[in-house]
Structure 1
Amino acid sequence: MSPLAEHEMLVLGLSNIEEDVYRHLLRNPGIEVEDIHVLLRHEAEPTRRSVQRLRELKIIQEVDGLARACEPELVVARLAEQRLEELYDGIRSLTHLRPLVDSLGREVPEPELGEDLRTVERITGLEAIRTRLDELAFFARDEVLAAEPYDALTPENIESSRPLDMRCLRRGVSCRSLIRRTALEDGPTRAYLQELTAAGARIRVLDELDELMLVYDRHTALVPLDPSNTAKGALCSQEEGIVTTVVNNFERLWAGADDFTALVEQRGESLRGPELTEIQTKVLHLMCTVGKDEIGAREAGIALRTYRRHISDLMQLLGAENRAHAALLARERSWI
């Protein structure tokens, strides 16, 4: 493959020049790298820096001045692991933005005496409500309280809720939820609640629950305009009296509710969600550590088609869009 070919290792953190050097050494092991920039038609100094970084990453090795490329399986696994750690570090840094928000907020002039503080916001339209919920979940720092009177969640509900819920739980936000007992009878809903519990959420169950309540950091409360028809919109309030009333109502209901964990254990079901079989666990590990399916299938001792079918099943089970996403989700569930 020439240096002009499409570069595929950018996703693993290698620059175009670094990939060109690595591929060249795969094709031509045991050569000197001093003048490799001439062969690759790159500038000397960027190529020299690329070679040095490949040495530091242990992607190439030199003996007696002659360089060789390390095995692709090991290189891809090492780079993928490093890239995942970088992504996690980035995610962690992006979850601590409140000091920045507070700093910017201090730039806003104080309202004039008597000015409308707009402590109650009326929100109509499903998209506007979802946008507001996304904002509130993103900036929640300490606690989210939720009372949700549904009998079952649709797949769309689950997919839209998962990133918001997991974002809070990954940051260490305390999440407490009240649900109806009838929701336990729906398989996908129960599985999602198990997923949340495994990630650190606390859930309690009531025989009767008719009130929809959401409270963020005991500072902002969201309730429906019409409890009998939530499609009409919602009220979002930061008025202390309103928020306190909603919180007190939630705590009253919470005190009389049954623990979701205990109820699930009584049913004989694992709170960790579906358990992986031995072969699924092995395939998941290989998928995250080897570069080629052929090698993974061989190490798992199964046919290539079977190996790929297991990967497809795992991605569906995790709700992953691709293999990198599957690796991240598997880590969140402590499967790898």
Structure 2
Amino acid sequence: MEEQVYRFLLTSPGQDPAALGLGDAQLEPAVSRLIGLGLVTVTADKGLVAERPEATLELLVQRRIARIVTDLRDVVTARDRVGALTTEADQAAGLMARIERLYGSDAVTDRILQDWQLEPASEVRAVKSRPRKPIYPRTDRLHTNTLFNLRRGIRYRTLLSSSTLDDPQYLDHVRALHKLGDSHRVTTDAIQEILVYDRTRAYVPLEAGNPLAGALRIQDPGVAATLTDLFDSVWERSTDLELYLLDRATANERKVLDALRDHETDAAAARHLNISVRTFRRHVADLMVRLNAKSRFQLAATAKEMGWF
């Protein structure tokens, strides 16, 4: 709706947007939103004027960077560095030349892989706040690139939101990468997804909470260094993945234990969880290994002692 009104004002300066035929209930909120974003201004005679597209693009980039700064500032104490980043955002005219907008996850993947060909990094910092799509090693190009880089000795560090570990498939994926050298730590803080290479360039989502929408690629040492410092601050206060899991049952493990306790047969427990009997038994076996239990009775007793029930 806002885009429709903005395009009308841009192509028909001085005209009343009521000509679009929209009702007041739709038109007034759209106009208010555009004014609030700075995309439309009110003239002295109370007319409406749309700002030029190049000006609005700069404004939106400034707002996006400022939002990232706000999100990160909530979970770190490096206020002086945050202030420096805010100053960078306020001077976005010079920064614009170093910002690239990438629309959609495929465009982001292509640009990241191009970066590795043209300007390989020696260290990668990543923040992931939600599980990724199912990993298929033969087709996931970023996953394949990560494995290749780990074999080359490139250092990877990844911060995970604790909520990502409730997905058993994703948990298996990150544990495998952790064992291969991609060091993972877990935080319960609210975190914003970022990807930083060598304190020189960074990727941040175009839309908060929606990495599939695309990303801003920022080739600016000042911004990248600030994001690196913020990452390191949260990293120091986070817990190694295996240590975190040692004292904590995942949501999936709790479901398996509850089903084991509440059902007399494996078949009934598997039906309750909507999985196969074979998969249920594998989950139980994994829990027995993890808790060093020699029997299911010992598994239940140990889990209860640890407060997993």
TM-score range, shorter chain: 0.3 to 0.5
Higher helix residue share: 2
Larger CA Rg, structure 1 vs 2: 1
TM-score by length of 1: 0.42
